[in-house]
Amino acid sequence: MASLPDTSSGHRSGIFRQLAGGMVTLLITLIGLLMVTFFIGRVVPIDPVLSIVGERATAEQYQTARDALGLDEPLWKQFGIYVADALQGDLGQSIRTREPISSEIARYFPATLELATLGTLFGVLFGVPAGVLAATRPGSFADQIVRIVGLMGYSMPVFWLGLIGLLVFYGHLGWVGGPGRLDPAYEMMMEFTLTQYTGAILIDTALNGAWDVFANALSHIVLPAGILGYVSMAYISRMTRSFMMNELGQEYITTARVKGMPEWRVIWVHAMRNVLVPLITVIALSYAYLLEGAVLTETIFAWPGLGSYITDALFTADMPAVLGGTIVVGVVFVTLNMLSDILYRLVDPRARG
């Protein structure tokens, strides 16, 4: 009797091939990103040597600094050194602080990651049910409310929402904390008495058991995360509604209803299984947008994140810091896209090839 072919090993090898192809694509994309940032750093009308040595430096001091930066080498060799350093995590030195850019970004990025993660969770927890509700009752009052709320999220500028939120919930009602991640007294406690494991205050304070600091940090983050979450929710609810309405019109949904299957099971099991496939990409893109596009929110709330770091560096003409932050944002965006593609293939067997 002939044995059946081992399909599981074929699926595994197919997944491994896709992962390898994704890694190659990721590497090529990152090299392209490094190329763009490298040439931007060379064409901007800012002399990095002069920024380091100052305008009163002698010609000898200027040339010494220029040699140390390798600016007299051929352009192709400079790019090779730049890529090699970046792949090792060396993004150069900040002109403002004279500190390694990679260590500064490691200090600022957890604040942005914490803010964007909470905002995305808010957007998913409220956006997906709202989109499903609107799709299952098209044209109803609930559908109109969801669409209006989503339209407002698209139309209102984030900085305006932030200012109004501070004025109402902090200034007038006193329900939330003000700008910054902590009150000054708790900042000193966090810096000198608590162990910082991740850089995310909510996680670190919980691990330290400092629940008073945790409560203060939560009061500060709830408003900016809620505003970012509202913007994310507007996008996610709209896309969920569109995907769900498309699925509810399919024949397999009609068949399930004819068989007497409960409506909740038709929607949340059968239809949602197919909606989840494109929705993963939507959520990943929304998360990437919050990670890279929270500059205005961080500025309004004095949030010491990556967006504020890049903005401050730009205002002081610290181009190495600006380009270093840009590389990190690009890496995050590309990585999230790759992860969403992997999840897409895991959820949908038809995409595995």
Q: Is the pLDDT of residue 26 over 80?
A: no
Residue 158: CB atoms within 10 Å: 19
Tell me the pLDDT band of 180, cut-offs 50, 70 and 90: confident
Residues of the chain by 3-state class (helix, strand, coil), percent to 5: 80, 0, 20
Q: Mean per-residue pLDDT for 159-179? A: 88
Mean pLDDT in the chain? 81
Number of H-type helices and E-type strands within the chain: 16, 0
pLDDT at 349 over 60: no
The whole-number pLDDT of residue 326 equals 83
Does 2 score more than 50 pLDDT? no
Return the domain boundaries, the chain.
Answer: 9-87, 107-351
**pLDDT tens digits, one per residue of 191-241:** 778 888 888 889 989 998 889 999 999 999 999 999 999 989 999 999 999
Res 223: pLDDT? 93
Structural contact between residues 304 and 3, judged by C-beta atoms closer than 8 angstroms: no
| Position with higher pLDDT, 26 vs 217 | 217
Backbone angles phi, psi at 84, to 5 degrees: -60, -45
How far apart, in whole angstroms, are the C-alpha atoms of residue 50 and residue 69?
A: 12
Tokens of 68: 């140390």
Find out if CATH 1.10.3720.10 is the number for domain 107-351.
yes
pLDDT at 4: 46
Angle 228-91-82 from CA coordinates, rounded to 5° = 130
pLDDT, tens digit, 9 for 90 and up, residues 279-310: 888 898 888 888 766 777 888 888 888 888 88
Quote the CA–CA distance of 340 and 343 in Å, as a whole number: 5
317 or 99: which carries more pLDDT confidence? 99
Looking at residue 264, its pLDDT comes to 85
Q: Which two tokens stand for residue 14?
A: 């197919």
Contacts of residue 133, defined as CB under 8 A and 6 or more positions apart, other chains included, come to 142, 143, 146
**CA angle, residues 188, 161, 223, in degrees to nearest 5:** 35
Q: Does residue 10 surpass a pLDDT of 60?
A: no
Flag whether pLDDT at 1 surpasses 50. no
Task: Enter the pTM of the model.
Answer: 0.80
Report the percentage of the chain scoring pLDDT > 90: 15
**Whether residue 152 has pLDDT greater than 80:** yes
Sign of torsion over alpha carbons 165, 167, 173, 177: positive
For residue 248, which of 224, 273, 280, 216 has the smallest C-alpha distance?
A: 273
pLDDT value at residue 51? 64
